[in-house]
Every structure is written in C-alpha cells, then in structure tokens.
Structure 1
Amino acid sequence: MTPADPFGADALRESTLLAWRSSPTRLREDAATESDLAVAGYRDRLLTELAQNAADAAARAGVPGTMRIRLDGTRLHVANTGAPLDRAGVQALSALRVSGKDAVGGPAVGRFGVGFTAVLSVSDEIELRSTTGSIAFSAARTRDELRAAGLEEPERGLPVLRLVWPIDTEPPPGFDSEVVLALRPGVDGDRLLRQLADDAADLLLELPALVSIELAGETVTRSERPLADGLTELEIGSRTWWQYSAGPSARWLVPVVDGRVRPVAADVLRAPTRSDEELSLPAILIADAALQPDRRRLMPGAALAHLADGYADFVAALPESQRLRLVPVPGFARGEVDAVLREAVLWELTGNPWLPGADGRALVPGSAVVLPGLTAELADLLGDVIPGLVGPGLSTERDAQPLSAVGAHRIGLAHLTELLAGIHREPDWWGRLYAALEPLVVDSVAAEELAAIPVPLTDGRTVTGPRTVVLGHDLGSPRHGIDMHGVHWMRLVHPDAAHRLLGRLGAGTATALDVLSDPALLTAIEDVDLDDHTATSELADSVLQLAGAASGAGDLPGWLGRLPLPDADGLLRAADELLLPGAPLAGVLVEDSPFGTVSSALVEQFGEAALRGVGVGWGFTVLRAELPTGPEQDLDDEDAWWSTLADDPDVLLAVRDLDLVDADAWPEALGLLASEPATSALLTDRLGYTAWWLRRHARVNGVRLGAMRQADDRTFEGLLDVFEHRDAVALSGVLAADRVDGVEMAELLLDRLADRDRDPSPAVVARTHRLLAEATAAGVLDLDELSPPAAVRTLSGTLADPADAVVLDRAWLAAAVPPELLVIGDLPSAAGLAELLDLPPASEAVRGEVLGAGRRVSAWDREPAAVLAHVALGLALPEGTLVVHDRLTVRLTGAVRRDVELPWWVDEDGRTHCTERGLFAGTDAERHAD
C-alpha cells in the first residue's frame, strides 16, 4: 500500500534527482555541503538542534513545549509537542540551504533548517513523524536511487537529507512530532543519552518555549516566578537562576544558590543556544545576535555593544550586598566578542545608578566614594559628610577590585581626616565616630592617617589631632558624674567624645588628680575675675567635682587652697582661709585667726572630702610642694628650717598654720595632729618642717616639746621632763631625741646639767657628756655657736667651777682626782668633751711623781701576778717595763696638789707602776681604755 504524501515528498525527490541528473556537479556540492555541516558545523549539537525545532513548534502553536527522549534498542526517539510538520518544513529539510523561519510571537529560533543535519552525527536512517504526515530520510534508499538514475556516489558521501520519502508511521500519543534515529553501528546509545541529559537544563534555560524535557524516564522541568524590580526566578530541576530581560535583544541570567548569586566563571554567547563565542562575563547572556549558518560564530561586523543596554538595571535589581558580584573583574578577554561585550557592560555600569549609597539612594559608580571597611554605624555618621558614599555592604576589601573596575573613587583614613576638618558636630557625634572608626585602625599606618582627626574639648573648642589633648580617665562616667564643661585650663577631651581610640592615636590620659595638678589650673585660679560670679562659680564647681573624684588618689597640690570659694556670708575667700562647719581646728586656734567658715551650700553640694581636698580646713592642712627651691611656701619660721637642710627636698610636705594655735590649746592641737593620717605621718619625720617647728615652738605647760622626752626613753632621765599625753607614742618625732642632734639640743643639755635643781644620776651625766662629745667629733655641733657653761656637772653629782674641774682622759687619773672636780664621759671622746666644755684634760692639768723605787721587772711576762691578771681578764700582755711596788705613793702637782697612795700609775716615760693588787685594776682599766 502506497503511503500518503501530504507534503509532496515524491515530487520533491524527483525534482532533486532531476537536478542531480542534469548537473552531477550539483550532486557533489550537496554531498560536500551536507558532510561539512554534519562533521563540522553541527557536531555535538544533536539535542540542541532538535530542541530548537521543538521550541519553535511550541511557539507556533502557542502551547508549553515538552520533549520526550527515549532509546528503543538502537533507535533514538525524540518526540515533542507544538505545531506539526507542514509542507514548508518538509521543503526546508530537503532543500538544505533554506530555513523555514517565521516570526510567530517573537523571533523564531529555527524550524527545520540546516541545523537538522546534526542528526547525521549518529544516524543515516531518519524518520520525522507528525500528526499531519510523516517523512523519512535514508542513506540506503538514497544510494539505490542514485544507482537507478545512473549516478555515481560522491566521494564525500551521500547527501542523505536531500531525498525525502513519505511514510505512514505516526508520533506517539500526546505528542505532535517525533524524530526517530536509527543509530549508526558504533554509536553507544546509553552514552549518547547521558550526553543529551547534560544539555537538558541549559536548553530549558535558553529556550523559554520549552517547559520540560523527559529523558530516559526522568523529567527536567522549568518553572518561573516573578520577583521584584523585573527579576524572574527560574527553577530547572534542582537548580535556580535569576533572569532579567533587558529589552527584546538580550536576557541575562545568573545562577543562585541559597538566595545568593554565583557568578559564572566562563561561558559562551547564547543566541539563543550555545555558540562557540567564549565570554568571561559573570552572567549568562542569551541574545538575539546574527550568527553564521552553523550557529557557532557571529556574522562578521555584527553589532554587539547594544546587548549591554539594561545590564545596570539587572544589577540594580539584585540585593545590594550581591550587586558587585556581577561586575566583570579585570582580566584578559577570551576573544574579540568577549572584549567588546566586557567593555560595553563596564561602560553601562559606570554611567548608570545602581551602586547602593550609604543614604539608601542608588549611585552612579563614576561619582561614588568608597571607604574600605565602612560599617553601618560609620555610614550613618558620615552619610552627610561624604556625598556619594557607597554603603557598608559593598565596602569590604573583597569589593575593592570590582568597585575600581566601575570607576568608584576609593579613599583612605587620611582623606577621611581631611574631609572631617572644619565640620561642626556635637561631642557625642565625635564619640560615636571614634567608636565606629576603631575597628579600622589595625596598624600604625592607619593610626598615622588619623593623626589630624578633629577632637572636641570640654571648653567647646574643636582642635586638630589627639596628640595635643588629654583624656579624662573615667571622669565622665556615671560613677563620678562630673560635668567636665568647666575644665577649660587643660586641653581635655569632652567626656561625650572620649574614647580609647584617641589614646591609641596619641592622646594622653589624666585622672582627676592629674587635671587638678595641671599648672594651668593655678593660672586659671590666679586670673579668675572675682567680680564675675559666673566665672568663679563655674571654676569652683569644676575643681570641687574633680576633687571629689580624686579623693584617696593622692595628695592634691597645695596651691588649690587659693581657689576662691564663698564663705558663710557669701563673700569669696581662698579655700585655705576657710574651715568646714564644726571643724575641730577652730577650737585650737587663736581668737583672731584669719579663718572663716565655708558656705554650707557648698558642703551639701560637693561633700566635705572635696572641700578638704582643696584646702578647706577640718583639721590641720598639709601643704604639698613639688621640687621646692627655697623658703617660698609662706610657712612660719620657714627660713630657719630651710637652713637645716643639706639639699632641697623633692617634695615638701608641711602642716600649715601651726603658728595660729592658741598657746593653751597645744594638748588638744597635738591630739588633732595625731588623729589625722595626713598630719600624723609628718610627726615622725624629725627632719621635716612639721616636727622641727613643733619641737622648736610648741609648748605644753610652758615647756618646749623639744625639751621633753618619752616616758620610756631614759637617755636623759633627770635632765629632760617626761611628756604626758594620750598620743605620746605618735608624737615621738616632736620630742627630744635620744641623741644630740643639733646645737639646740646641746644647749638644752648643757643648761640642764648646770641646773642646780636637777639631780641626774652619775650614769646619765656620763652618758650625756659622751653623747655631747660624740656629736662634737662628728661635726654635728659647731662650737662657735655654743657658749661654755657657767658650771659643770662632776662625777660626784655636784656642780663645779669650770676653772677647777678637769675632764678624765687617762684611766690612772680616775683615783688621783677628787670626784667633785672630775668630769667624765668616756675616755675615747674625752678630748672632744674637754673642747666642748672648755675644760683641761686631766692628763694636762695634773702631774705626778712616783715616790719610792719599787721592783723593776724587765718584761710583763716575767711577773706572775701580771700574767695572772691578763689571763684572768683575757688580755694579751703588753710590752714595756713594769715596776711593782709594795705601796705606790704618787706626789701630785698642778690642779691637784697632794701625796696620794694609788693602785697604779703611768709615769711620763710610759712605765707602768703598780702594786700586786693594782695589777688587776690597771689591767682592767687598760682594757676599757683600749
């Protein structure tokens, strides 16, 4: 039975055979052309070409395009829905050089044109089944026709797609057309299916008329969902793309994973299916572009730049944080087409607004400014300072390259510092700016770039650079609650702007104590206009707040006492001329003391600690002076104390106003001094001004403190009176020392030794004489400042006329001189004592002549009694001559005139005379003399 021929296939075949018979050259040309298209132009494009035909059929029919691909043994079946085969299509298939394109609802992508030759890559026996009729192409039947016509088979092979035969086979139910390919021997069907499966998703992306491709039982579908700003979300299988149609000429797509775009690394121009024109753009371009017949390359001279129109709108439609991912980064173009398109895309991006600004508006990149590391906080602060500032989401280091590619201007911290110069903002704005900038200062280079950043001060000024300012350490915190606005004497950072970044940039730090110790404050105090109530009140408030914060941190400078404060009557007086209400100091001062009482309102507002810190009195006030150079502290009798110092002290601490104590109130005043830690510490410093002044001037019961002793100090017992006071132990430094420490002490002791109403023991007398002599020898005493006493205390305890008394300086004279004439200290210091008392040494005032010859011993070791004496006393035997007497009588002349019997004597020649009993006495005396 002859098959129906609705498309005139038989006539077409006869016409082609007639042309070949008429011109064998035409046969060879057709064979060569078909071979070239199959082997070169349309290699590896089997599914692409069949999908294009299917998409065009669906578009013609206005239905969603579907494809089904299956393998039946060695036969590959590719079915599709859409417009069925028609006469024009059959003519296009068999004509080889003619395409049946027709714009139906938009540009057609190809309908049975030369691309169908791709089937020849796997098959020589092809059927095209359709609901309107079916045809076949066959290499075997074409060969038979050539033989029947007497034509030779061309060297390049048979032109299989030139001769068409009608067939009766229909497409499967549910489909309008089906291409059936009998696979050529050697073609692996399963492998072919896998290759076709790899192309399925791309084809659904490129050909919007297709919605699904079923292959080997698995179906890949495409769905669309409109998004905001012209974006469309495409889902094909498990993959997602965002699509943007930039006019009729181009569609842009980018893969999306978990809501974030994933720029493509490399792709090709798709027009609409894949060509061989390589691109390095970050998005897929599907464009209406003029391709050569094999659809692999662009036609020479084809216009391209217009395809980039709208790319900026595509980028602007993306989330702000992802826009830069679609900026082509610098790199080598993959070819001429890529170079043109890259340049056009960058030009499009550079001149159109799409870059997110810090103020929320889209910026044209060419006029945008980028601050690397910008944060949301920093952007909020700088939005009106830097016009065109790019938002923080696109200001990271990884964004630098794409931003540079589109012409955005990058600035650093140094340029930012320049932009900040001269602007006026509240201090808290600057504080928030420093906090926002801190994360950007990662090294010394960044710190140097911010070296000139403006800094607001407490006095309302804004200065350049942190290196000249000081941070008030914790002064503006709620814990202290200090209003720092009145601190104008120091370049102090406003507390609302204070931030640790300024310290990193070179700002100093200052505690409340540091601020109060600044010499500029002294100048401010001295220069304040006492007639300006506002100025004096602000200065006082600032200083007193700081004094409260500095409580316990250390001694405040004494000159803070000059701070003018209101007294109880509202009159301004220096702080150190005021007392706190109920101050115990008021009870020990003279009636006409210059002190007033501070305003009770100040006490309520700032507290007693702050007022005491600046010198307002409660007890005695301690003056502190750093590196003083002389008696310039206005202390009583300061010149005299200063003359006692060998060197200027590094720090002078002294109790003020001791000269204002009432003479009868010293017991109470001393108790007050001992009760305060600051003043009691000075009472133990004997060399310090305070203890010195009290010893010299303070009197209890008419007696100077320096003339009294502690009860347990018996050094000068009987000469100095005991100091009776509940705080006597704490006051030890203001009483007499247990040594002779100066001319005043020496004069006192000499006077007390000559006082007939005193009855010191011989031991105290001897000890006192020794200490006086040692002080003389040590240079503590200047004898030119002392007058010889009118009477001297002798060994017997009586007072003797200095003209009669002698100082014992030789041991053997102790028994020779009467006790009532003998003044003793100890033998080593006898010369100094004699000089101090202006008395002759006994060895000079008394001469002696030994009466009687005695027994001469040539050496001490020859005398048994001498050996015994020295062994018993643990002494070495001396050298020299020894004369032993039964009775030793010496005739004394000089200050003492008499004959006296003595145990031992040393004559002018150095010989020792003694009795046997006297050997022990003389030896022991020698030991003590040594």
Structure 2
Amino acid sequence: MPRPDSADPFGTAALRDGIVAAWRSSPTRLREDAATEADYVRAGYRDRVLTELAQNAADAATRAGIAGEMHIWCDGDTLHVANVGEPLDEAGVHALTALRASSKKQGVGQFGVGFTAVLSVADEIEVRSRTGSIRFSESRTRDLLGEHGLPVPTAGIPALRLAWPIADAPRAGTDTEVVLHLRPGIDARELLERFRDEAVDVLLELPALRTVVVDGHDTTRSETRLSSGLYDVSIGELRWWEYRGTSARWLVPVVRDRVRPVSRDVLRAPTRSDEELSLPALVVADVAMQPDRRRMLPGAHLETAAEGYASFVAALPADQRLDLVPTPGFARSDADDRLRTAILDELRSAPWLPAADGGADLLPSRAVAFPGLTDELADVLADIVPGLIVPALCAPRYAPALAAVDVHRIGPARLTELLSGHDREPRWWNRLYEALMPLVVDGVVAEELASLPVPLSDGRTVTGPRTTVLASDLPEIRDLALPWVRLVHPEAAHPLLVRLGADTVSAADLLSDPALVAAVEDVDIDDPTDDTAARLADVVLRLVTHVPAGTVPRELGALPLPDTHGELTPADELLLPDAPLAGVLVEDAPFGIVEPDLVAEYGADALRAIGVGWGFTVLRAELPTGPDHNLPDEDLWWETVDADPDTLVAVRDLDLVDEDRWAQALALLASDPATAEALADRAGYTAWWLRNEATLEGQRLGHYRWADDTTFEGLLDPCTHPDAGAFRSCLAADALEDVDLAQTLLDRLADPERRPTPAVIVAAHTTLAQAFAAGTIEADAVTLPDGVRTVSGAVVDAADALIPDRPWWVGVIPTDRLVTGAAGTATALADLLDLPVASAVLSAATARPGRATTWDREAAAVAATVVTGAPLPKGALVLHDRLTLRCSGALTGEHDVSWWVDGSGATHSTVQGLASAAAAVSTAHAAAAVSTAHAAAAGGGTRS
C-alpha cells in the first residue's frame, strides 16, 4: 500500500537541511562532494552496477539470516533490482547520503560508497523498501542548489547526497528494490545481457546469495560438502570444487569430475578487483582493499590467503593435484607474485603429494618422480625408490609443477644406480624388465639403462645386459648354469635385455663359444676337490642334444669325463660300454671306457656327440684351410686337394684299426650313415685314407676293384666284402690316383699267372701312360718288372717287346711282341716302360710295286669311307693285290699286311685293307707328328 506523500520515516528532510547548510557554509565542501562522487563514478565503480547492488543484497540476506535472492528486470527505460533480506533503515539512509561513511557491520558493506556505481547509468535513483522508500534526483538537487544560491560544481551535481522520501513500495515478495531511471543513451537490454553474464561471478563471490534472476533467467547456486572436505559448488550447469580456508576461499572449475585450472583471473576480495592473477584456482580472499575495492591497500596481508592451500590440493583426487601447482611464469601483478610465492612456500612445507605405495602423503622435499612411471613399475620399485609419487603425476606435462615445489626427479640412469647391489629373485627382475619395456623408446633411454643389473643362471648378478646372453629358444636348458658364459636366469629373461644389447644364443652358439673351449682346457683333472669338470660335463651333455649330429666342435672332445676307474679322461679318448669300435681297434688303442652312470644319466647319443666312441667318430669342419684337424696323414691328403673344400667330413681314428680286423671295421663304417657318407666321397679324406691304408686279406683296399667294374679285370681282384657297395669310392677307379696302384698294375701285367683279356691289357697300358703323361707317376717312382704283357696276353721279356708309335706298325708287329695302349699313348708308354717305339728300331719297305692312284678315284676307297664313316683321305694311294713289306732291324723278313704308309706319306693298301686304312690315315699324321717329336726328344726307350 502506498504511504502518504508527507511521510518521511527516515528523516530525509533534516538530512537535506544539514547537508545544504554545510554546502552553504563551505562551498569547497560542495565542490569536494561533487568531485568525489564523480571520481567514484568515472573510475572506482565504473562497470560495477550489478556487483555493488549484489553486495548490498548479500549483506541484507546475511543480516536477515536467509538465502539471498536478486530479481532484475526492465520496465521501459527503468531498471529494477530487487532483493530479499533486511530492509532499508535509517542508518542505511545515512550511509547512502554520507558518501564517505558506511553502516557496514559485517560482510562487504550495506549501502556504502559502492552504491555510487548506479550513477554510471542513471541520474534518478529510487530505493524502495518495505520500511520506507527514498529517491535521489540530480534534477531536484540542481533545483535545490539554485534555491539556495549555490553554484553548480564543475565536476557535476552530487546526486547521491540529497534524498527525498517517496511513497512507492518494493516489488511484492521482495524487501528492497532499487529503481534506476536510465539516462538517455543507456541500452537497458544490453545492461540485462551483461548482468546475466555477471550473475555467475556474483553468486561465486557472494555465497550469501543463492539466486539471481535476470529478466526471467534464473541462475541458482547450490553446494554439497564432499567427503574430502571440499564443497561441490554448482551454479547453473557450471561446477567448482571449493576449499574454505581461514582467510580465503579457493575454487577450481570442474568438468566431469576433473579439475580445469584457470590461467588468468583477478583477486576477488570478495568481488572482482583489478589485481590480475595467473593462479590455477580462483581466490576469494579477506584482504584490505582501497575504498573503490579495485586495488589492495598498501601493506595488506595478502600472503595469509595462501594458508591452507596445501590442504586444498591434498583434498583433490591424487592424479589431479599437480594441476593446481602454479608453474613458473611472469607474474601478472605484484599481488600475483606475492600470492604465487606464498602458495609455493605453503606447498613445499606440507605433505600433499600422493605416494605410489598408497601410504601417507609426501612432503615435496621427500618425494621422488620418475618420468614414465606406471603402476606396474611403481609396484616393483616400492622398496627400491622410497618416496615415489603416483604414476599419474610423473607424466612429462607435470615436470614444471614438480620443479616448482622442488620434487626430486630421477631418470633411467639414476634408477640403474639405485638398483645396483640389490639382491632379488629372478622373477622380480623379470617384472622390472616388463615394467621398464614401454619406456625404451629410443637409443638415449637404452643407453641410460645400459648398467641395469641382470641375474644369471649361475646365481650371480652382473651389471649391464650387453655382456649377457639369453637362451629363450631352448626352454629345456634355460635353467642350466653356464660358467663360461653370462646366461640370463630363465625366470628373469625378457626381450628388454635383447633390446639393451644382450645376445640371444642357441645351443650351437653356446657350444661353439671359445670361452667354453678355454674352460675345458683350464680344468685341473688332478685336483680331486675341483668339481669344474663335472659341472661342465653336465651342461655340455645337456646342450649337445639340441644341436644337429656332427656339429659339436671337435675341441669339446677334450672335455674330461670319468672312466670306469674314476679317472678323468678326455671324452674323445673314451668308448661307450660294449662299443663295437673296441672290437676292431689294436690292443693298445688309447681308449678307456666311460663311466656307465653317465650313459644312464645323459644317454649314449649325448656322449657320442662330444667324441665318446661307439662306432667311428665323424669330424665336420666348415671352411677348412689346412691340415690342422689332428687326422693321420692329413697333410698328405691336402697335397691331393686342388681347392679347399667348403666342408671337411672325415672319419677319425682309422689309424687305430687292427690290420687283421679291417673287414669288421669296414662293416662298422658302412652301417653308420654318418661314416657311410664320408666313405662315399672319393675325393674326401676318408676314402683317400682307406684306399691307401686299409687292407683286406693282405691287400690294400685301393688295389681292389668294384666287382662290376671290368676295367682291370684279371689284374685287380674284385672286392667281395658284403658292404663293398658302401665303400666303392675306396676301391680302385679306372684312373690311377697314386704310384702304388701303378706299381701293382705293372707287376700284375708282368705276372704270367694273371689272365687279363687283350682289352684289359690295352686299358691298363692306356691308364699307365696317361698317368705318366699327366705327371701322376714318374718313371723313377716305380720298379719295372722283367717281363711285359703283350696284346696276345703273353708275358715276354722286355727286350722282345715293341710299342707301335704309328698305327700301321700294328699290322707288322706280331701280337706276342706288341705292347700298346690307346692311340696317342705310345710315346708316354714307351718312356714309362723303358721300351723302344717301333719307328726307332724298325724299318720297312714294300717288296713289290703297286698301282698308283688317289683316294677319290677309287670306288672301293670311297665305298670304304662311306661304310666306316671316316672322311675320305687326301694324298697318294697305291693299290696292291698283295702287300708285302720287307723289314729290317728289330724285326726282319717279309711280312704281309693289309695297308701301310711309306716314308713319303703315300698309303699302300689292298682292297680289303682300304676301310682300315681310311679310318686310320685321317688321324695318323697328327698322332705321328706328336709321337715323332716325343721320340726324338727321348731318343727311344731302351731298358738298361
């Protein structure tokens, strides 16, 4: 209900009279009031209309003990701001008109100088309250100054110094309503939009307010106390977590339960000031401010606002705490610098960093951060690195925050130092390697972890993976202790070690390691207290089962093993019990019998692999370069090799076979696929040695022939051994390979008890001649027998033998004096056998003349070449009905032949001899030239 216009419940008439009297008595006072009010409007309280009115509303609600509400709306060019709470009283009116005084009892002020902010938008202001209403009017004040003859100050009219009572009541449901009659040029809608944006801030800064309604848009603040001690504050759809300290409130925005630190704001004391801040949280502090509340008063104790900040941070979820640590940067103001410094001092002096082990929060000075830390790694390092903070806070993005509070950060290199000297189970180390694996993303980290401790299978722990090896592909042997190599314990083995430089080895790699050979060589077999031999034997005998047969290095044959007498003996000097090899060796063979218990434990195959004998042992050497394999007569074999073989495969200990037991030995060699392979290589060492040294029934094996090979049938005996097929390469071939076989052939050609066929005789002489010509045998390397074998099969005195160096001599020399090989071998055969060639000791001429012609004119001659396929010879041809030669020299008298070539090169032939003559003459001249030259050089062969 409107009150009578004459009602003046707050005594505004007396107030006006007193103020006007003061102005009249002191015009300076009038100018000062006008200037002060103008300064507040233009500077201190510019753009603070809503803030200042909200402060008044908050104080009113606080005094009334109720939740504050503000309602703001426009009616034309009039702005209305209503609130609930304690209504206007006389002290409030005095505060409004006094300009320099306030009726504030608590909070931010009830109608103090901040009310001046309304003059930035209005010259006519009403304050309506359910206890009475007043109006401030620039126009009425101007009129009153004129009535009293007072000049208008140059600064303007002090409109808020004089109040008049009005009868209007506040809006229903509210206790006080401020009505601003906006001056021309002020956009009411724009004001409402700005107030709507500012509503969140005033509700955040003034917790006494619960709701701000701007033009029907409701913005409400609600809060819930959390178990952490923080308050969850919601304003509309926005959320903050709030900490309430003794002299400040700290708030940080929250989105989906994750803090979103701010980067810039201002000091709120409690409403926004001009003191710029760069802290990660908003601060609403009880700080002494200048009257316009834009700047702190000099000497204000701002640092007290930081008290409890560490508790605020500690109340946050563990993985979000570092988000609220101010990181290094330029301070935005002196207040920012002071508050930042105080906060960091507070954080350094209180425990708030969450421990990785789940224990009590840590002081930063006692905390340790490891970049890249994971939950798994933290669990492994719990008792190795005290003070580790939770992995989430070790991320690289938190490095500046950790540095700001002096948290010690360690890297992989420092971690390896801390791990040094710790004794842990191999599985623990495996867990550590697994946890470290994701961190090794480049060579820098790998180098920093180069000294990582590694447990070995023998119980030692060494420094650095680069000196170790893993046998991850051999699960059966990974638990072995390998004294000659740094083998990673199988329960600790991990791919990280390979990444850091460890090698992955196979059983073959381990067995071929020179360190193993050295370890074997260093065993002291004379020290009964030294168990090195037994430990090495255990490892080696278990490793050899994982490598292909025959690939174990021969040097491991020196591994000492106990024999049946308990004496340590090199493995390659031992035989397995009941080894068939023992039955073919000489009585004094240097072999003992291995301890039977070793056979039972490791198996015969493992023992055989390192040289313990069963049958013959096969040696395999890749890319051999010379006779350094401890094989009998190896140097002699290498002399027969044209080029180094890619692989040397040789049977050992052949020189220890009893010469009377070679039949059994050969059967043993043939029965084993490994040794049978060596037998089959004719050029190899084994076949070479057996040809020259093995004997059957008193004869060297190389002097036997394969039963189906008739090349030397009647001269060499066939090998009748049941397994001869397996060692065929060890028998004589159709070519001479050594002097001994040449001697044998010479002797047996001269043995009248032998019955070789003419073809075998010619073949044997051909082979001998070719070997001599090739340099395989030399004349002074053999002993010539007295007799020689002629084509007829007869053995004649060498003085009666003739070698035809021209094909036409074959028809002249009787077969029981004719010694020959294949065409072209006459000279070499004569030199080897020390026999003359026919041309050197014989001469012959036709006894009767024939008919001279040429080859191409004689039909019979042409027909003969068609039949034989020989080319038609050129040159002279003399046909005879009967061709008789008159011979002198080693052979005298007349001899009938079918064809002949005289000294002039003319061919003499009967019709029946044309075919033979044509076939021979085409190649005779070339062969004759070679033979003549050789004969001239040798002077013809004549035995002494």
1:520 match: 515
Following the alignment from structure 2 to structure 1, what is the Cα–Cα distance between the partners of residues 317 and 70? 35
Range with greater deviation from structure 2 (867-876 or 563-572): 867-876
- 2:674 maps to which residue? 678
- Aligned twin of 1:99: 102
Cα gap change, 1:622/1:554 in structure 2, threshold over 3 Å: closer, same or farther? closer
Alpha-carbon shift at residue 542 of structure 1 (Å)? 1.4
**Matching residue of 2:343:** 345
Distance 2:297 2:221 in 1: 31
Q: 2-side partners of 1:554 and 1:144: how far apart?
A: 126
Distance 1:110 1:754 in 2: 147
Change (3 A) 1:334 1:635: same
Distance, in Å, in 1 between the alignment partners of 2:60 and 2:877 is 156
Match of 2:935 in 1: none
Task: Report the equivalent of 1:139.
Answer: 138
Q: CA deviation digits over 1:81-118, x for unaligned, max 9?
A: 32222222211111111122223xxxx22221111122
Q: CA deviation at 1:814?
A: 0.9
Alignment of 1:816 onto 2:816 = no
2:889 is the counterpart of 1:894: yes
Instruction: Quote the offset at 1:65 in angstroms.
Output: 2.1
- Other structure's SS at 1:205 match: helix
Which residue is 1:125 aligned to?
A: 124
1:492 aligned residue: 487
Matched, 1:744 2:767: no
How far, CA to CA, are the matches of 1:578 and 1:459 in structure 2?
A: 29
CA change 1:733–1:918 in 2 (3 A) is closer
| Whole-Å separation in 2 of the counterparts to 1:590 and 1:551 | 32
Change (3 A) 1:312 1:852: same
Alpha-carbon distance in 2 for matches of 1:222, 1:676: 97
2 CA distance for matches of 1:585 and 1:484?
32
Alignment match, 2:547:
551
Structure 1 residue aligned with 2:62: 59
Asked whether the 8 Å contact 2:757–2:793 carries over to 1, the reply is yes
1:264 to partner: Cα distance: 0.6
Q: Secondary structure at the match of 2:92?
A: helix
Could you say which residue in structure 1 is the equivalent of 2:936?
none
Give 1:460 shift: 4.1
Between 387-396 and 318-327, the greater mean CA deviation after superposition: 387-396
Aligned to 2:846: 850
Q: Does 1:563 align with 2:566?
A: no
Aligned length: 919
Amino acid at match of 1:13: R
Q: Deviations over 1:515-544 (max 9, x none)?
A: 112232233223334423743332222112
Query: What aligned pairs does 1:552-591 form with structure 2 within 5 A after superposition?
Result: 552=548, 555-567=551-563, 572-580=568-576, 585=581
**1:346-385 paired onto structure 2 within 5 Å:** 346-360=344-358, 362-366=361-365, 368-385=367-384
Which one-letter code corresponds to 1:563 in the other structure? L
Amino acid at match of 2:218: T
CA contact (8 A) 1:808 1:827 kept: no
Question: Please, what TM-score do these two structures have when normalized by structure 1?
Answer: 0.90
CA contact (8 A) 1:512 1:546 kept: yes
Aligned to 1:160: 159
Q: Deviations over 1:372-407 (max 9, x none)?
A: 323333334444444544443222222223323333
| TM-superposed deviation, 1:313 | 3.0
Cα distance change of structure 1 residues 807 and 41 upon mapping to structure 2, 3 Å threshold: same
User: CA, structure 1 residues 392+128, in 2 after alignment: closer, same or farther (shift >3 Å)?
Assistant: same
Gap change, CA 1:901 and 1:483, over 3 Å in 2: same
Measure how far apart 1:334 and its partner are.
Answer: 1.9
Q: Distance in 2 between matches of 1:705 and 1:926?
A: 43
Does residue 834 (structure 1) correspond to residue 830 (structure 2)? The answer is yes
Give, in whole Å, the separation in 1 of the partners of 2:582 and 2:124.
129
Deviations 1:753-798 (A, max 9, x none): 3344443332233233222222222222244332224433322223
* Inter-partner Cα distance in structure 2 for 1:36 and 1:572: 112
- Partner SS state of residue 49, structure 1: helix
| Superposition pairs of residues 132-281 of structure 1, within 5 angstroms | 132-245=131-244, 247-281=245-279
TM-score, length basis structure 2 = 0.89
Q: Deviations over 1:868-918 (max 9, x none)?
A: 666776666666655554443222223322211223333345444444554
Cα 1:667/1:234, change in 2 over 3 Å: farther
Q: Note if contact 1:49-1:115 (Cα within 8 Å) is conserved in structure 2.
A: yes
Partner residue of 1:771?
Answer: 767
Per the alignment, residue 916 of structure 2 pairs with 921
**CA 1:116–1:901 in structure 2 vs 1: closer, same or farther (change >3 Å)?**
same
Change (3 A) 1:64 1:569: farther
Q: Which sits farther off after the overlay, 127-136 or 630-639?
A: 630-639
1:903 corresponding residue in structure 2: 898
What's 2:653 paired with? 657
The corresponding residue for 2:529 is: 532
1:79 aligns with 2:75: no
Residue aligned with 1:213, SS = strand
Partner of 1:277, secondary structure, is strand
Counterpart for residue 33 of structure 2: 30
* Structure-2 change in CA distance of 1:807 and 1:344 (3 Å): farther
Compare 255-264 and 683-692 and name the one that shifted more: 683-692
Task: Mark the runs of 5 or more structure 2 residues left unpaired by the alignment.
Answer: 927-944
**Corresponding residue SS for 2:342:** helix
Which amino acid letter does the alignment assign opposite residue 894 of structure 1? G
**Distance of 1:644 and 1:239 partners within structure 2:** 98
* Structure 2 partner of 1:21: 24
SS, match of residue 845 in structure 2 = strand
Distance 1:117 1:629, change over 3 A: same
**Offset at residue 816 of structure 1 (A):** 0.6
1:410-443 superposed Cα distances (whole Å, 9 cap, x missing partner): 4443444444455554444444433333333323
For 1:472 and 1:743, the matched residues in 2 are separated by 55
What one-letter code is carried by the residue in structure 1 that aligns with 2:537? A
Question: What is the CA–CA distance in structure 2 between the aligned matches of 1:286 and 1:769, rounded to whole Å?
Answer: 124
Q: Deviations over 1:189-220 (max 9, x none)?
A: 33322211111112221112222222333322
Provide the C-alpha distance between the structure 2 equivalents of 1:883 and 1:893, rounded to a whole number of angstroms.
Answer: 22
> Do the aligned partners of 1:891 and 1:898 also contact (CA within 8 Å) in 2?
yes
Counterpart amino acid of residue 322 in structure 2: L
Structure 1 distance, partners of 2:127, 2:417, is 76
Instruction: State the alpha-carbon separation in 1 of the partners of residues 780 and 438 from structure 2.
Output: 75
Q: Which piece of structure 1 moves more, 582-591 or 678-687?
A: 582-591
**CA-atom RMSD, angstroms?**
3.3
**Structure-2 residue corresponding to 1:507:** 502
**In 2, Cα distance between the equivalents of 1:141 and 1:459?**
106
Shift of 1:812: 0.7
Pairwise CA distance, 1:846: 2.4
Q: 1:161 to 1:645 in 2, by over 3 A?
A: same
Q: 1:626 to 1:865 in 2, by over 3 A?
A: closer
Distance between the aligned counterparts of 1:759 and 1:72, measured in 2? 149
